[in-house]
Structure 1
């Protein structure tokens, strides 16, 4: 059992129950009652009591992608059905299926599902149209911070789920000169998605990109799919991406390991990173959601910098692309996540 994840799920259910349309207050008692996996996501079963009642009721909370995922608790619900230890698991699985079916129908009816499919095809292209990226940054070009490259080897990965776990961290084959490079993000606010981070861009030279081609990963870090297809992308399970020097990825991992040893009851994201994201929002509230969507993180080991950015629509496979100038030389690196044109129709 993942105690941290379970407690986050428990607190999410308590918050849901406090809503005026539900109990309107905290349950008088709540207990862990089991867990299960469904659709490759992990869920926790709880039983709770209403104030003034001795009866127990069933609730479910979760939707986690893996043991390192503390950010996703998107499925939280109770049908206020009396708890039965023999049927609780099936009851909760039926509830999750109902939630998923509801959101699928909502997305289909609103046209959002079709837009998401278009967007998925766009961010997986072999070559990204320059005009689409130019249009984004003409409307919004937000400076995040600088990234230090003491070795010139680039790693793109989920900094919350996979860098600490030393899994699915894509190191690009092409290195860049040792140095420090500025990173920007384009931001959009559409009726169907709200405020979102769209494309992350790291400028390597001042030159303008005239072509964006898929950046290949090293043979040791690419994903080999079940059909033996090589995927030169990186998975995101905690709605966060990062660009950093490969040495800094290892040092972030070391910081996380040391933190867990020293503070076993604490969570690195909640206790270390979350306040930084909150401060980022306070500094630039017009281009971020309230929890904060990007930070420049300074590693306490060597004071080197990396960036972390909310991953557009959320989880999935993302790809990096080299930007080439008119001389055919690399001038930037981008990670496209959202094409706002699809969500503005």
Structure 2
């Protein structure tokens, strides 16, 4: 088993699970999956957000705003935001994936702004068991209001509705996700091979912004851990990209009317 996986299996953290770096996508099912697998109940969450002007799904932006709460599964979830530094984007192409799968990952087909942009995590604080998890991770390119959200697509993928019965996304086996510029992919993959143990030791908590060779990557824990998670692009009224956001299925927003 690859050393990246060995370390994760030894960590006494329920968030992580054992996996192999050598696993490769066997079919399109690794990037397209039915949403029924994630609907554990038909409960409709009650989402309480002060800013009623937000585009659907309101929880995408609302989870980063003070005072947002969700009533779901018989408990209340309160949200707060963590800023974890900037992501350097030099090629305009971004990869979102499980770091164990990085060598096989490809960038989204969209061209993103070039520069350094803040990365933020929306933390879900679950009242019933005093638990705290990463609910959403985003790269923020603009402060302009988002008019519309859509799936971030890989080359060859056709657009689908937000509430489609199937979703695009990436599988997680290591309890971790990341954002990285495509130009930094190969250097990062080599870095992970050599430094996985030190980067993701028992001291790892929720996130890591790691710099290397004038590049960087941002890592974060993924909700309740392993699963299949979709990434979305938010655009303003002029169609310009404002945000790239990955949803870790902490809130069943698909059950809420638009």
- Normalised to the residue count of structure 2, the TM-score between the two structures is 0.67
Q: Tell me, what secondary structure is at the counterpart of 2:92?
A: coil
- Cα distance in 2 for partners of 1:142, 1:3 equals 30
In our comparison, the structure showing a higher alpha carbon Rg is 1
Q: Which has the higher strand share?
A: 2
Q: How many residues align?
A: 205
* Paired residues of 1:198 and 1:338 also in contact (CA < 8 A): yes
Report whether the alignment pairs 1:304 with 2:241. no
What is aligned with 1:162?
A: 101
What is aligned with 1:137?
A: 64
> Deviation of residue 130 (structure 1)?
3.4
Report whether the alignment pairs 1:209 with 2:146. yes
- Cα distance in 2 for partners of 1:181, 1:65 equals 31
Deviates more, 1:150-159 or 1:184-193: 184-193
Q: Deviations over 1:154-212 (max 9, x none)?
A: 111111x111xx12x14100011221111111101112581000111111122121221
Q: Which has the higher helix share?
A: 1
* Paired residues of 2:3 and 2:196 also in contact (CA < 8 A): no
Which structure 2 residues correspond to residues 246-265 of structure 1 after superposition, within 5 A? Answer: 246-257=182-193, 259=194
Q: Which runs of 5+ in 1 are unaligned?
A: 16-61, 70-111, 120-127, 223-229, 260-267, 279-290
- Cα distance in 2 for partners of 1:201, 1:3 equals 28
Report whether the alignment pairs 1:332 with 2:239. no
> Deviation of residue 241 (structure 1)?
0.5
Larger RCO, structure (CA 8 Å, separation 6 or more): 2
Q: Deviations over 1:50-73 (max 9, x none)?
A: xxxxxxxxxxxx96343569xxxx
Q: Which runs of 5+ in 2 are unaligned?
A: 24-38, 46-54, 67-79, 159-165, 254-258
C-alpha RMSD of matched pairs (Å): 3.5
* Change beyond 3 A, Cα 1:170–1:234: farther
- Cα distance in 2 for partners of 1:231, 1:65 equals 23
Report whether the alignment pairs 1:295 with 2:222. no
* Paired residues of 2:8 and 2:174 also in contact (CA < 8 A): no
